Amino acid sequence: MRPTGTRHACQALALALIVCAGGCTSPKPPASVAVEQREWTQSGRPGVELLTPHFQIRTTVQDQVLREYLPIFMETAFAEYTRLLGDKETWRQGDKETDDTPIPLSPGPLASLSDSPPPRLPIYLFETRDEWARFTRQFAPDQAYTYLHIHAGGYMDYRTQTAVAFQIGRDQTLSLLAHEGLHQYAARYRPEPLPAWLNEGLACQFEAFTLNGPRPTFTPRRNLIRLQSLREALMRENGLIPLSDLLRMDAGEAVRTSGLPTGTYYAQVWSTVLYLRDPSCPYAAGFRALLADAGTPRLREAARSWRKAPPEGHRLSDAEAVFYSYITPRTDHFMAGYREFADKLARGR
């Protein structure tokens, strides 16, 4: 979710694992993952610390299978985050761009622990919500009020790129960590925050998967919970959130504010990004350009330039200006195409 202050949160829903019936292409996962295991305790409760090339996982969960799944699951997810956001030659550091100095993102997913990687992305995974709540009150006191409204989920601290979650069932927990992992990746490897609708929409692409042992194949179109929420929104009169509101929204509002359609928000950003990723989408090229610039000064400059163009441009939020600049300012045309896509998606086409 878009941070309130400097934190992301996710109202996780129970996502069942889905068997892929053709049409799925497996990513190239790590052939193996080097894991270092240490003892770790939190408030007197024994746990373990699992160190992989890109993650520092501290957990008190008692499910041994889940513990064993975590390293290769998260490293496979990391490889997919890199494929989506990290392999852009257009990456540059800071406000000054050069043509010959790409940003070094990170070692590849097969890097060993001796390759001196950058600091690992921290994950705290607790056995119970009570443990998670106690930790949250200490770790994120300014945002604890918001996070303690989450009954099945977790959050990501933007400043430290730390995911904090509690177990909600084996497959649901993996789904949650894959979602939060995308937020961690973007916070670590992109110098500036992504627009909330994009950040959440991309994270939702990793919630559904099939498993081959502990190794996932992500299946974003088979996200059953988001799909059901989308169907329900399409069935209601004016059930979809207006695009201008969707672009401006901080998803934390959906957690904090009574009556706000949390499920609709996530379903809509999930399906919007799915639409923009579709090769047949007329806005696909603009979306690829947006992904290349997301989290860099180029995105900020594009939004700033767009605000200068229309008479009411100064009233636009950053996220609206970004969308209008890279995708289209003709929101009626966009929503007509999106609605057609969403209707087909809801019908399983």
Put simply, whether the predicted model's pTM sits higher than 0.85 gets the answer: no
Kindly tell me the burial class for residue 141, based on how many C-beta atoms sit within 10 Å of its own C-beta (0-12, 13-18, 19 or more). exposed
The b-or-e profile of 83-100 (16+ CB within 10 A means b, else e) is ebbbebeebbeeeeeeee
Show pLDDT as tens, one digit a residue, over the chain (349 residues): 433 334 455 444 333 333 333 333 444 657 678 899 999 988 888 999 999 999 999 999 999 999 999 999 999 999 999 999 975 433 333 333 323 222 233 333 333 344 455 799 999 999 999 999 999 999 999 988 888 888 888 999 998 999 999 999 999 999 999 999 999 999 999 989 999 999 999 999 999 999 988 899 999 999 999 999 999 999 999 899 999 999 998 766 665 554 557 889 999 999 999 999 999 999 999 999 999 999 999 999 999 988 887 677 678 889 999 999 999 999 999 999 999 999 999 998 7
Kindly tell me the burial class for residue 114, based on how many C-beta atoms sit within 10 Å of its own C-beta (0-12, 13-18, 19 or more). exposed
pLDDT of residue 235: 94
Residues 170 and 252 in one domain: no
Would you mind telling me the total number of residues written for the chain in this entry? Answer: 349
Nearest one of 157, 185, 160 to 74, comparing CA atoms: 185
The H or E element that residue 339 is part of is: helix 331-346
221 close to 30: Cβ distance less than 8 angstroms: no
Identify the CATH number of the domain in which residue 80 sits.
3.40.30.160
Structure tokens at 345: 């998606």
Number of domains in the chain: 2
Q: At which of 153, 188, 211 does a domain end?
A: 211
Residues 202 and 263 in one domain: no
Structure tokens at 48: 């373990």
Residues 139 and 239 in one domain: no
Q: Which residues, including other chains, have CB under 8 Å from residue 16's CB and lie 6 or more apart?
A: 171, 224
Q: What is the residue range of 38's domain?
A: 7-211
Structure tokens at 65: 């299978």
Distance of CA 250 to the CA centre of its chain: 14
Residues 168 and 69 in one domain: yes
pLDDT of residue 312: 74
Residues 26 and 144 in one domain: yes
Q: Which residues, including other chains, have CB under 8 Å from residue 304's CB and lie 6 or more apart?
A: 321
Residues 82 and 151 in one domain: yes
46 φ, ψ (degrees, to nearest 5) = -70, 145
Nearest one of 263, 262, 176, 271 to 222, comparing CA atoms: 271
Q: What angle do CA 126, 195, 103 make, to 5 degrees?
A: 85
